Amino acid sequence: MIRVQADDFDLGQEVAALRRGRSDIGAVASFLGLVRDMAPEGSKTAACDQAMTLEHYPGMTEKMLADIEAKAHERWPLQASLIIHRYGRLLPGDQIVLVACASPHRQAAFEACEFLMDWLKTKAPFWKLEEVGGQGQWVDARESDEAAAARWTHD
């Protein structure tokens, strides 16, 4: 299941919902992404002067997340999965993204979570605008994210 939303979410409730009514699941792995305090070390900029605004491409975002999730299910024996990605203005410490995967054994759940995050970073149309001290700046894509996504394409 995928959800793109402005609202916050609760990891415990989401994982409980993922496995509700089932006793065949042996492992649930999850990844929670957070807004980091972006002020340079030693800077006087307080966390309250910072924010991050996530823009996305409504329609394509949902399509890409559903594609990525389907790819994970083709590749690993997953029993359930969830991707939640927020958009809008977020503050340091806020939750941005949740990925959770359920499988009979842990390895598939761990690997599928990593795969989903690596692919999401480079294929889901989200963009981060960082505000520090009132200045907005679009975050540059990182080559390391491309490399992380590429390691899953050997097959």
Partner 1 sequence: MINVLYFAWVRSGIGLDQETIETQATTVGALLDELRARSPRHGETLADIAKLRLAVNQSFVDLDAKIAAGDEVAVFPPMTGG
The contact pattern for partner 1, residues 44-83, with x = CB under 8 A and - = no contact, is ----------xxxx-xx--x--------------------
Query: In the bound complex, what is the minimum distance in angstroms from residue 120's beta carbon to partner 1?
Result: 5
> Taking CB under 8 A as the criterion, which residues in 79-118 touch partner 1?
85, 96-97, 117
Query: In the bound complex, what is the minimum distance in angstroms from residue 49's beta carbon to partner 1?
Result: 21
Angle between helices 106-123 and 60-75 (to 10 degrees): 150
Stretch binding partner 1 (CB under 8 A), from 8-16, 69-77, 105-113, 135-143 = 135-143
In 3D, which of 81, 84, 152 has the Cα closest to residue 115? Answer: 152
- Chain CA centroid to CA 146, Å: 15
Contact call for residue 125 and partner 1 (CB under 8 A) = yes
In 3D, which of 134, 116, 114 has the Cα closest to residue 48? Answer: 134
